[in-house]
Amino acid sequence: MPSDSKRAPFSSPSFAAPTLLRECGGAREFSSYALYAAVLIVPFALKHVFGFSALTYVIVTALLALPVGALCLVAHSWIVRTPTDQIGALPNQPIESYMTILDKELKAMYHGCTKMPMEMFYERYFDGDIDLTGDALEIFEKRYDWAFFPITYNVAKFFVFQWIPELLVHSKKQDETQVRDHYDRGDDFYAAFLGDRMVYTSGLVGDESKRETLEELQDNKLRDVCERVQMRKGDRHLDLGCGWGTLVSYAAKNYGTQSIGVTLGRNQTAFGNDRAKAWGVADSAQLLCMDYRDTPRRPLYNRITCLEMAEHVGVRKFQEFLLQVRDMLEDDGLFYLQIAGLRGAWQYEDFSWGLFMAKYVFPGADASCPLNWVVAQLEATGFEVRSSETIGVHYSATLDRWYENWMQNKDKIVKKYGKRWFRVWEIFLAWSIIVARQGSSTCYQILAHKNRNAFDRTALITKPLGFGMPSGSVQA
């Protein structure tokens, strides 16, 4: 039966509670009609000036549609009004309450209650021109009091000259370079926030009445994944983009699988194979250092898992990737896909955070899309989606533990990797705790299988919520 008591919002100790809840302008305020009008009117004005023919007008309209649309979006990001349906009022504290601006020219531009573009803040913070007056997470909780989220020149430049070319290419060489530049930086760098498990994907909160440790969150997730795909002794299991291989060794040790992990990271491969030996499963758990496209396809696999690697496959290669997965999977096999994504009803902060992540944290991860896009790709390539869970809030809890670890290891990181690298990850983790909690970015757990008539769908039936509890009367 439902509880009579109403749960207070954000009262669980598992999560970092917000101190200022604000909505940012975005899709709701952006007029599609104004966009269509601009796309038609600009070429019409050019036609009037240069005397185009009707055919030339159509061609020019087609050629200018994308750049005109982009300029409309950029302009709107600077002038959009704050939504009126806000829950709380801004503190209206001067920017000096949150940061000390060391650069004289920058300080002359931003002082008092003048708000700074977020992109300018983090670039100048990384360069050492700004110091924070307190904890980064606490300051970012109140970011709407000192920052706004326009599409700046530097953001647009990065999008056009780096993000789009990377999206279009996604060659083996490009992916290898990005992965190795990122993940071969040093295991100690990642251990400073990932902890003993060395799992760089969202954990799961099991008991929201207490603050579970990072290790508990990750163990909850590892067990959840294995149970979702119904791992059994002797199953051939493939983990694509396996990272440091913790799931590979966990499945082999606890479920008796024959598990193979694939990663491009050299350090990750060595670490994972050493862990398999330490856990006594070297004969049944192995990491291979290779591109996912080179994964051994035969014999077929009973279970395939892919946790937060598919984003790096890229939009252009995504269906090709899923067709490869389908080709490697037994007809009665199960495919588990955990993938980060963005909400469809976007706000400008979502763009700002997403492009920051693409530049500094996860280059090449352009297939972070809304859920409907991911499901459509799966169905188009012959999969049936059995279940989907949105776990963004669990990611927020995981990031909160990562941030806590990172701040505790500040001196070690600054000493070996420098202040700039420390600050990049400080902002990434602090901002992402909030972004995941508020739904700007999220994460999906998707269980799928081949969409074949002969597939035994009864094997995946789960009990309805509340099954076995008194149902109450359904009669008048």
The tally of CA atoms less than 13 A away on the side-chain side of residue 194 is 17
Check: CB of residue 62 under 8 Å from CB of residue 92: no
**356-386 burial, b if ≥16 CB within 10 A, otherwise e?**
bbbbeebbbbbbbbbbebbbebbeebebebb
Q: What is the pLDDT of residue 470?
A: 81
Per-residue pLDDT for 279 more than 60?
Answer: yes
User: Are 350 and 291 in contact, with CB atoms under 8 Å apart?
Assistant: no
What span, in angstroms and rounded, lies between the C-alpha atoms of 82 and 141?
A: 17
pLDDT of residue 5: 66
Task: For residue 308, give the nearest of 239, 256, 220 by alpha carbon.
Answer: 239
Q: Three-class SS string for the chain?
A: CCCCCCCCCCCCCCCCCCCCCCCCCECCCCCHHHHHHHHHHHHHHHHHHHCCCHHHHHHHHHHHHHHHHHHHHHHHHHHCCCCCCCCCCCCCCCHHHCEEECCHHHHHHCCCCCCEEHHHHHHHHHCCCEEECCCHHHHHHCHHHCEECCCCHHHHHHHHHHHHHHHHHCCHHHHHHHHHHHHCCCHHHHHHHHCCCCCCCCCCCCCCCCCCCHHHHHHHHHHHHHHHCCCCCCCEEEEECCCCCHHHHHHHHHHCCEEEEEECCHHHHHHHHHHHHHCCCCCCEEEEECCHHHCCCCCCEEEEEEECCHHHHCCCCHHHHHHHHHHHEEEEEEEEEEEEEECCCCEHHHHHHHHHHHHHCCCCCCCCCCHHHHHHHHHHCCEEEEEEEECHHHHHHHHHHHHHHHHHCHHHHHHHHCHHHHHHHHHHHHHHHHHHHHCCEEEEEEEEEECCCCCCHHHHCCCCCCCCCCCCCCCC
Q: Residue 168 has what pLDDT? A: 82
- pLDDT per residue over 315-355, tens digit each? 999 999 999 999 999 999 999 999 999 999 999 999 999 99
Predicted pLDDT of residue 176: 77
Q: What is this structure's pTM?
A: 0.94
> Tens of pLDDT along 31-87?
999 999 999 999 999 998 999 899 999 999 999 999 999 999 999 999 998 888 888
Mean pLDDT for all residues in the chain = 94
Please give the share of the chain, as a percent, with pLDDT higher than 90.
85
Any residues with CB less than 8 A from the CB of 137 and at least 6 apart, and which? 16, 403, 430, 433, 434
pLDDT score at 106: 98
First to last CA, the chain: 19
Check residue 8 and give its pLDDT. Answer: 85
User: With contact defined as beta carbons under 8 Å apart, do 367 and 310 qualify?
Assistant: yes
Indicate the burial class of 137 (C-beta count within 10 angstroms; 0-12, 13-18, 19 or more): buried
Average pLDDT of span 370-375 = 96
Give me the residues paired with residue 387 across strands. Answer: 447
CA contacts within 13 A on the Cβ side of 147: 22
Answer yes or no: are the C-beta atoms of 272 and 242 closer than 8 Å: yes
pLDDT in the model for residue 363:
85
The CA distance from 369 to 337, in Å, is 14
Closest by Cα among 403, 391, 392 to 435:
392
Cα separation, 75 vs 312, whole angstroms: 30
